[in-house]
Amino acid sequence: MSTDTLPATEAAPAASGPGSTATRRNTLRSRRRSNALRTLAFMSPWLIGFGFFFVYPLVSTVYFSLMKYDGLNAPEWRGLANWEYVFTSFPQFWPALRNTLWLCVVMVSCRVVFGLGIGMLITKIKTGAGIFRTLFYLPFLAPPVAATLAFVFLLNPGTGPVNTLLEAIGLPAPAWFTDPAWAKPALTLLAVWGIGDLMVIFMAALLDVPKEQYEAAELDGANARQRFRHITLPNISPIILFAVVTGIIGAMQYYTQPIVASKVASGVMGGSGVTFVPGYPDDSTLTLPQLVYSLGFSQFNYGAACVVALVLFAFSMAFTALLMRRRGGLIGSGD
């Protein structure tokens, strides 16, 4: 009997047989589903933490930024009234924003440059490197409040040893924390003094650069500047990017040092019945985190505080995204 006369059921294999395309497709789909569930199970601790500690606070902050809320009474819908108040009617917002951006640019740049420079210097020292490494790292271990108090007294315009020394050698003695023009540079000096964390990170990155590349460059006649530009920078570029990004995030959260310095310099240390307005002198040390605390926990205006917090979040994300996209232009290339 020819195959042309076979019944349809005998001429071709059954569509539902174990080797059919539909069966293989179902098996592959089931395997992918099981792999996805297994991956989700392994990621579940991170997903739960991400949801509780990032997504939920962010959504709540956006929600309360649209509400009138004092922490005691039920929230009342205000729409964009809190945003309008912060951007147009709250006089301290723009000085705080300018100060925060200044610290992100100047203070972070100085910390990265000095941290890299000190790290390179110590890696070149043949004897006593451990002593110098310890001396430069110790200031980083000082508590922020104690370090700020010490700096305010050292930079006291009337009795501080720094101004006494400057006057003795004939240099002008700034007013530091009592002068709006010098308050932020004084905070930058404090940040550079505690450079030990970046120094250690840069030292580890510098010691990891292959020495063969330096030797090959020397044989080709490259000088020290060319070796630094074409060998050192490309090799440590991820560490520089890490230092800049984390530095900007830290500057966006800069609270303790400026608030302590302004309190001590103004002579108002706070206490029962004492009202202190942050930012002394003339809002020069005022930062956005101080506004968040002042609006939320001093004035009980949680809606406006959430607006400032969202501005901080937006600037942090924008800076980080810009640096991640421009990392090649930030640190140069080795071509």
Cα–Cα distance for residue pair 9/237, rounded to 1 Å: 68
Query: How large is the average pLDDT for residues 196-212?
Result: 93
pLDDT over 70 (residue 314): yes
pLDDT over 70 (residue 234): yes
User: Among 119-123, 270-274, 315-319, which is the least confidently predicted range?
Assistant: 270-274
Question: Which element (helix H / strand E) includes 42?
Answer: helix 21-50
pLDDT over 70 (residue 320): yes
pLDDT of 205-224, one tens digit each?
999 999 999 999 999 889 98
Crossing angle for the helix pair 129-141 and 196-207, to the nearest 10 degrees: 140
Cα–Cα distance for residue pair 170/254, rounded to 1 Å: 34
Both structure tokens of 182: 């010098």
pLDDT over 60 (residue 273): no
Binned at pLDDT 50, 70 and 90, residue 198 comes out as: very high
Q: How far is CA 12 from CA 4, 18, 25, in A?
A: 12, 14, 19
Return the amino acid letter for 310.
L
- Return the sign of the alpha-carbon dihedral for residues 90, 91, 93, 94: positive
pLDDT of 47-100, one tens digit each?
999 999 999 999 999 999 999 998 889 999 999 999 999 999 999 999 999 999
- Beta strands in the chain, from DSSP E residues, in sequence order: 67-68, 76-77
Q: How far is CA 85 from CA 62, 71, 295, in A?
A: 16, 19, 12
In the chain, the percentage of residues whose pLDDT exceeds 70 is 89
CB 139 within 8 A of CB 196: yes
Return the amino acid letter for 306.
C
DSSP 3-state percent helix, strand, coil across the chain (nearest 5): 70, 0, 25
CB 237 within 8 A of CB 331: yes
pLDDT of 3-48, one tens digit each?
444 444 444 444 445 557 878 888 888 888 888 888 989 999 999 9
Paired strand residues for 77: 67
Query: How large is the average pLDDT for residues 124-128?
Result: 84
Q: Quote the pTM value.
A: 0.82
pLDDT over 50 (residue 172): yes
Q: What pLDDT does 330 receive?
A: 52
Cα–Cα distance for residue pair 199/122, rounded to 1 Å: 9
Both structure tokens of 70: 């004092």
CB 97 within 8 A of CB 177: no
In the chain, the percentage of residues whose pLDDT exceeds 90 is 67
DSSP symbols for 178-207: GSTTTHHHHHHHHHHHT-HHHHHHHHHHHH
Query: How large is the average pLDDT for residues 183-192?
Result: 95
CB 166 within 8 A of CB 172: yes
pLDDT over 70 (residue 322): yes
pLDDT over 50 (residue 243): yes
Q: What pLDDT does 14 receive?
A: 47
pLDDT of 99-114, one tens digit each?
999 999 999 999 999 9
pLDDT over 80 (residue 331): no
